[in-house]
Amino acid sequence: MEIGADQLAARLDGAPLLPAYLIAGAEPLVVLEAADAVRAAARRDGIAEREVFEAGAGQREPDWDGLAATFNAPSLFATRRLVEVRLPTGKPGKDGGAVIAEFCARPSPDVVLLVTAEEWSRQHGGAWSEAIGRVGCIAVAWPIKPHELPGWIERRMRARGLSPDRDAVAFLAERVEGNLLAAAQEIDKLALLLRDAAPAETARAPMRGGRAVDAATLQALVADAARYDVFRLVDAAMNGQPAMVLRVVAGLRAEGEAVPGLLGMIVMELQRGAALARVQAKGGNLAAAFKAQRVWDAKQPMYKRALQRHLPEAWDAMLAQAGLVDRIAKGRAAGDAWLALERLMLALADRGAVRMLAAG
């Protein structure tokens, strides 16, 4: 049986657990929430013991022999166990596929198998996934297409007690640019803000169908609740918004953030940009490079805008500036770390500012 990952929670509601589940797809939030629904159903059914087998760094495979032994071993602490296998690539290989298929051929009544994967396509499937489908459920989180995003946002808002109009949904869809995790965070934040802002009697008895949200209300709440963070800073710089960069840097400084705490994310994005710029300069496959660098589809447009502004040597200069910022912040070089950071992010946002780094 194959269903959409967002349908799995409803299927689990009040139903007995199946022997095996495969939850896979390129939408991390949907995969995570579907897997959480299985875990919640396991707790509901009195399953308290959980074992996790995970592929690690460098594509290290799980301990397939250990997994096979787990399937066959009696539980030490409970009558039933939830056994999770996490496959980032969605490919268990020959050995792993055989272990999973063998379990599904003769599932143990003491074990519920949950396999999750961050990548999935029709080519990922095989005998092992077909075996899961025969005795259990395959839930796929296919990427949300642009025209599907407003519907997803509206359903999510209504599930959180909100009743948005069409313009409010369109505003939020444009704001998150296809990033479901960002959309979910914004919706949860809005639900809390509206709850806290509502009069006590309204909060106790919200309007039928959910608390009404129009575009003007949504825009005002988003603006009032906006906190400056490193993600906003990177996004503004990558998208070529120097004025926003200045506001976010000032906001971060005013909120007492520490420069070293911001640099990790900034350096990671600069390293990605440098790698992508080298591929682009050599006429390589940029789509494959995005995948290799794990850049989500929703984030690719801002990278492309930055790549149009900067050649590989500019990215190298910005990485050198990031090193200087780090030394200043740690007292190993003279200067103001915040001003050096501002200079770095302005260089990322504006091609002309990169020349100032070299002059510097």
**What are the boundaries of each domain within the chain?**
2-141, 146-225, 230-359
Q: Virtual CA dihedral for 232, 234, 237, 238, nearest 10 degrees?
A: -110
pLDDT computed for residue 232 by the predictor: 83
How far is the C-alpha of 239 from the C-alpha of 353, rounded, in Å? Answer: 15
Among 22, 4, 17, 34, CA closest to 100: 22
Q: Is the dihedral of CA 280, 284, 286, 288 positive or negative?
A: negative
Q: 3-state class of 86 per DSSP?
A: strand
pLDDT computed for residue 133 by the predictor: 93
pLDDT computed for residue 359 by the predictor: 55
pLDDT computed for residue 59 by the predictor: 45
How far is the C-alpha of 30 from the C-alpha of 211, rounded, in Å? Answer: 25
Q: How far is CA 164 from CA 19, 149, 151, 188, 292, in A?
A: 39, 14, 11, 14, 38
Q: For the purposes of burial, counting CB atoms within 10 Å of the CB of 220, is it exposed (0-12), middle (13-18) or buried (19 or more)?
A: exposed
Single-letter amino acid code for the residue at 99: V
pLDDT computed for residue 360 by the predictor: 55
Residue by residue, pLDDT tens for the chain (360 residues) are 788 888 899 899 888 999 999 999 888 889 999 999 999 999 999 888 888 888 754 446 678 888 899 888 766 665 789 999 998 888 888 889 999 999 999 998 889 999 999 888 777 888 999 999 999 999 999 888 888 899 999 999 998 899 999 999 988 887 776 778 778 888 888 888 777 555 443 334 344 456 888 888 877 776 544 445 788 899 899 999 998 899 889 888 887 888 988 898 899 899 999 999 999 999 999 999 998 887 877 778 899 999 999 999 999 999 999 999 999 999 999 999 999 999 999 999 998 887 777 555
pLDDT computed for residue 208 by the predictor: 44
CATH number attached to the domain at 146-225: 1.10.8.60
Pairing outcome for strands 137-141 and 2-4: parallel
Q: Which residues pair with 112 in a beta bridge?
A: 82
Edge-first strand listing for the sheet containing 137-141: 2-4, 137-141, 20-25, 111-117, 81-87, 49-54
pLDDT computed for residue 175 by the predictor: 74
Taking residue 84's Cβ as centre, other Cβ atoms within 10 Å add up to 18
What is the C-alpha R_g of the chain?
A: 24
The fold for domain 230-359 equals Zinc Finger, Delta Prime; domain 3 (1.20.272)
Residues found in the chain: 360
8 A C-beta contact, residue 21 and residue 115: yes
**HSE on the CB side for 142, CA within 13 Å?**
10
The fold for domain 2-141 equals Rossmann fold (3.40.50)
Alpha-helical regions (H) of 45-179: 64-72, 93-105, 127-135, 149-159, 166-176
How far is the C-alpha of 219 from the C-alpha of 99, rounded, in Å? Answer: 52
What is the DSSP code string of 223-269?
HHH----HHHHHHHHHTT-HHHHHHHHHHHHHTT--HHHHHHHHHHH
Which tokens belong to 110?
A: 């003491």
